Amino acid sequence: MEQDQRFDRLRAQVQQWVEGPGERWAERIEESGEVPEELWAELNSLGFLSVAAPVEYGGQGLGFARWMELMEIFSRSHGSVRMIVHVVNGIWRSMDGHASEEQRKRFVIPSVTGEIKIAFTLTEPGNGTGADITTSVVREGDTYYLSGHKHLITFGVRCDYYLLAARVEGSSGHEGTVALLVPRGAEGVRVEDTSNTMGVTGTDHASLTFDRTPVPVDHRLGTEGQGLEVFLGGFLTPSRVSVAMSCVGLAERAQQLAVEYARGRVTFGKALTQRQAIQFMLAENAADIEAAKQLVLHAARRFEEGADDASMLSSMAKMHAVTMLTNVTDKALQIHGGLGYWKSSPIERVYRDARAQRFEEGTNEVQKAVVFRELLQRAAAQAEEGTAR
Helix H, strand E, coil C: the string for 209-265 is: EEEEEEEEHHHEECCCCCHHHHHHHHHHHHHHHHHHHHHHHHHHHHHHHHHHHHHHC
Report residue 284 CA to chain centroid gap.
26
Those residues with Cβ within 8 angstroms of residue 278's Cβ, 6 or more apart along the chain or in another chain: 262, 272, 335
pLDDT of residue 129: 65
Task: Answer yes or no: is pLDDT of 359 > 90.
Answer: no
Q: How confident is the model at residue 126 (pLDDT cuts 50, 70, 90)?
A: confident
Pairing of the two strands 270-271 and 266-267: antiparallel
Q: How confident is the model at residue 47 (pLDDT cuts 50, 70, 90)?
A: very high
- Give the integer Cα–Cα distance in Å for 179 and 169: 14
pTM given for the model: 0.93
- Give the integer Cα–Cα distance in Å for 90 and 243: 11
What are the CA-CA distances from residue 118 to residues 107, 111, 155, 180 (Å)?
9, 7, 8, 11
pLDDT in tens, 285-328: 999 999 999 999 999 999 999 999 999 999 999 999 999 999 99
pLDDT of residue 360: 86
Name which of 72-86, 120-134, 237-251, 360-374 the model is least confident about.
120-134
pLDDT of residue 235: 80
Q: How confident is the model at residue 386 (pLDDT cuts 50, 70, 90)?
A: confident
User: Stretch 240-244: mean pLDDT, rounded?
Assistant: 96
- Give the integer Cα–Cα distance in Å for 321 and 358: 10
**At residue 24, what is the residue type?**
R
Q: How confident is the model at residue 39 (pLDDT cuts 50, 70, 90)?
A: very high
Pairing of the two strands 136-140 and 143-154: antiparallel
Which CATH code is given to the segment(s) 118-224? Answer: 2.40.110.10
Task: Answer yes or no: is pLDDT of 128 > 70.
Answer: no
Catalytic residue among 175, 361, 365, 384: 361
Q: How confident is the model at residue 384 (pLDDT cuts 50, 70, 90)?
A: confident
Q: Are 60 and 50 in contact (CB under 8 A)?
A: yes
Catalytic residue flag (residue 192): no
Domain ranges of the chain: 2-113, 118-224, 229-384
In SS3 terms, the chain reads as CHHHHHHHHHHHHHHHHHHCHHHHHHHHHHHHCCCCHHHHHHHHHCCCCCCCCCHHHCCCCCCHHHHHHHHHHHCCCCHHHHHHHHHHHHHHHHHHCCCCHHHHHHHHHHHHHCCCCEEEECCCCCCCCCCCCCCEEEEECCEEEEEEEEEEEECCCCCCEEEEEEEECCCCCCCCEEEEEEECCCCCEEEEECCCCCCCCCCCEEEEEEEEEEEEHHHEECCCCCHHHHHHHHHHHHHHHHHHHHHHHHHHHHHHHHHHHHHHCEECCEEHHHCHHHHHHHHHHHHHHHHHHHHHHHHHHHHHHCCCCHHHHHHHHHHHHHHHHHHHHHHHHHHHHHHHHCCCCHHHHHHHHHHHCCCCCCCHHHHHHHHHHHHHHHHHHHHHHHHHC
Between residues 132 and 221, the one the model is more confident about: 221
- The CATH label, of 3.40.50.740, 3.40.50.2020, 3.30.465.10, 1.10.540.10, for the domain at 2-113 is 1.10.540.10
Residues in the chain: 389
pLDDT of residue 244: 97
pLDDT of residue 127: 80
What is the third-level CATH fold of 229-384? Butyryl-CoA Dehydrogenase, subunit A; domain 3 (1.20.140)
pLDDT of residue 337: 95
pLDDT of residue 388: 72
- Give the integer Cα–Cα distance in Å for 16 and 24: 12
Q: How confident is the model at residue 153 (pLDDT cuts 50, 70, 90)?
A: very high
Task: Answer yes or no: is pLDDT of 225 > 80.
Answer: yes
- Give the integer Cα–Cα distance in Å for 2 and 96: 29
What are the CA-CA distances from residue 47 to residues 13, 88, 313, 380, 389 (Å)?
11, 11, 29, 46, 54
- Give the integer Cα–Cα distance in Å for 228 and 225: 8
**At residue 87, what is the residue type?**
V
